[in-house]
């Protein structure tokens, strides 16, 4: 998947392979894990099904090989925002979604996870409490509802007018295991979409384990996800809630900022105390010829890297910011995109992939701090307090010159700088550079990404196949009707 033709081949084949590869991969899970509600009879079988749902969240079945495939979480939103680029022209970079190769990928991944989560939720709720030890029944339900909330929010963020709370163009909510009898269903309003997702998250916060391994969901990950959801919802009461959740997570959660964030990506991985939830690589994944690291690191005179950093990303790092020397690297030679650099956040160019370089990250404590600062600013709170948080995160990364931050005197200027820092800190992880860009005023968005000329480009079109299998879904998203 290094050359563009290989990328296109894999992506085109993925849809055809999806159902087969999912079945093949899940049949090989530990203890024959299968996401089948009919096999959930007690705690042991529920745990097996839950593990299968995580395998779908990790997108292991995508290639039909035993590797996590979270690359669309890493590069796809960064292309949209203008901070990663391919070796040659890609419609994703120009926000021409109807021509893009991966328009349907997030849709397909998300609904596979949602269906698995629904199978668990629907069945476990029916089982008697004595089939479970302690509070594990609620714990399993809490984790499954997190998975459902995460996937529904991913859909809301990419396929619905999440920025217009009164819009009828929300998401297709699936709350039961899908089958031929119930596949036909209309999409919900944006308000109802938010309400459904937040109800799942409130349950997960109350019931999911507080001490799960950080490659599984738990109370703290549900809190971090709720912060993202409320930031997108964007009401003043939402910002107040974000600040409160952040305070609880920072003060009472078992996490701490990494002294040097480079260590997370180059040496510590999931062992870092900053990681709230990550995506754990599969055994021997670093030796797979189509692993994640290869997109960013492998380079020869004949083959360029799959994904590189744009000159816009490189420009975000000042001379005083050491991240410029490891998040981005030297300019890619013989490239069709002049000024693009190696994206070396996960791995140095031509370095040997490792389990750490194969690890992906859904939530880190840095994001919690930055969203708190943004919520303070958007609620017209203390500029000084928000700037102090911004300086703290930049200071952890090795920045020492805070002149620009100190000189900020308006919330508008502060929110722009927070966007820049969200991008510097979280680019290429789970799409937060893209969502943070779209939270800025539309005039600013158009200035930062000139290829965006209409808010219809904030979201993707509903896949054509959905209208064939589910004619009740309703109209296509605005801007894509013909």
Chain-centre distance of CA 168, in angstroms? 24
Over residues 9-62, the pLDDT tens digits come to 222 333 223 332 333 333 233 343 445 667 899 999 999 999 999 999 999 866
List CB contacts of 91: < 8 A, sequence separation 6 or more: 97, 98, 99, 100, 101
Query: 154 falls in which pLDDT band (50, 70, 90)?
Result: very high
pLDDT of residue 18: 32
Checking if the pLDDT of 477 tops 50, the result is yes
Query: 374 falls in which pLDDT band (50, 70, 90)?
Result: very high
Q: How far apart are CA 457 and CA 45, in angstroms?
A: 43
Question: 10 Å Cβ neighbour count for 12?
Answer: 11
Over residues 214-239, the pLDDT tens digits come to 999 999 999 999 999 999 999 999 99
pLDDT of residue 87: 74
pLDDT of residue 65: 73
pLDDT of residue 8: 27
pLDDT of residue 13: 30
Map out the domains of the chain with their CATH numbers: 4-270+361-473 (1.25.40.390)
Checking if the pLDDT of 186 tops 80, the result is yes
Q: Tokens representing 292?
A: 């994640």
pLDDT of residue 86: 87
Total residue length of the chain: 482
Checking if the pLDDT of 2 tops 70, the result is no
- As a whole number, the mean pLDDT across the chain is 90
* H-helix segments, 163-298: 190-207, 219-233, 236-252, 262-263, 293-297
DSSP 307: S
pLDDT of residue 297: 87
Over residues 329-349, the pLDDT tens digits come to 999 887 778 889 999 999 998
Checking if the pLDDT of 254 tops 50, the result is yes
pLDDT of residue 482: 57
Greater pLDDT, 294 or 208: 208
In the chain, the percentage of residues whose pLDDT exceeds 70 is: 91
User: Could you give the dihedral angle defined by the CA atoms of residues 181, 178, 15 and 308, in that order, rounded to the nearest 10 degrees?
Assistant: 150
DSSP 265: I
Checking if the pLDDT of 431 tops 50, the result is yes
Residue with structure tokens 């005197």? Answer: 409
Greater pLDDT, 103 or 153: 153
pLDDT of residue 410: 98
């Amino acid at each position: 998947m290094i050359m563009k033709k290989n990328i296109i081949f894999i992506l085109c084949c993925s849809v055809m392979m999806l159902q087969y590869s999912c079945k093949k991969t899940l049949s090989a899970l530990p203890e024959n894990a299968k996401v089948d509600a009919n096999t959930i009879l007690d705690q042991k079988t529920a745990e097996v099904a839950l593990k299968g749902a995580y395998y779908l969240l990790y997108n292991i079945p995508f290639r039909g090989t035993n590797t996590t495939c979270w690359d669309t979480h890493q590069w796809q939103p960064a292309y949209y925002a203008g901070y990663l680029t391919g070796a040659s022209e890609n419609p994703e970079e120009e926000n021409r979604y109807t021509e893009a190769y991966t328009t349907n990928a997030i849709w397909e991944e998300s609904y596979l996870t949602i269906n698995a989560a629904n199978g668990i939720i629907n069945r476990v709720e029916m089982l008697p409490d004595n089939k479970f030890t302690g509070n594990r029944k609620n714990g399993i339900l809490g984790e499954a509802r997190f998975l459902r909330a995460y996937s529904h929010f991913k859909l809301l963020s990419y396929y619905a007018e999440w920025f217009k709370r009164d819009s009828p163009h929300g998401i297709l909510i699936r709350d039961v295991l899908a089958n031929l009898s119930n596949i036909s269903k209309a999409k919900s309003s944006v308000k109802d979409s938010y309400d459904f997702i937040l109800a799942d998250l409130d349950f997960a916060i109350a019931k999911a384990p507080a001490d799960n391994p950080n490659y599984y969901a738990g109370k703290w990950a549900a809190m971090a996800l709720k912060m993202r959801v409320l930031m997108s919802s964007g009401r003043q009461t939402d910002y107040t809630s974000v600040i409160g959740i952040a305070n609880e997570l920072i003060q009472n959660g078992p996490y701490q900022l990494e002294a040097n964030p480079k260590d997370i990506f180059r040496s510590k991985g999931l062992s870092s105390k900053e990681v709230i939830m990550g995506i754990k690589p599969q055994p021997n994944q670093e030796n797979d010829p189509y692993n994640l690291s290869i997109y960013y690191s492998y380079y020869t005179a004949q083959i360029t890297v799959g994904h590189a950093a744009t000159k816009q990303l490189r420009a975000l790092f000042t001379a005083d910011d050491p991240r410029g020397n490891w998040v981005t690297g030297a300019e890619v030679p013989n490239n069709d995109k002049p000024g693009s650099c190696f994206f070396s956040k996960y791995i140095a160019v031509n370095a040997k992939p490792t389990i750490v370089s194969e690890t992906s990250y859904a939530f880190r404590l840095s994001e919690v701090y930055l969203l708190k600062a943004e919520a303070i600013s958007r609620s017209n709170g203390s500029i000084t307090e928000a700037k102090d948080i911004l300086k703290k995160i930049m200071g952890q990364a090795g920045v020492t010159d805070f002149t620009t931050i100190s000189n900020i005197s308006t919330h508008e200027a502060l929110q722009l700088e927070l966007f820049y820092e969200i991008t510097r800190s979280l680019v290429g992880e789970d799409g937060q550079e893209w969502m943070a860009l779209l939270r800025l005023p539309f005039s600013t968005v158009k200035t930062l990404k000139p290829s965006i000329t209409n808010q219809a480009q904030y979201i993707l079109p509903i896949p054509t196949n959905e209208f064939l299998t589910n004619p009740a879904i309703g109209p296509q998203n605005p801007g894509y009707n013909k």
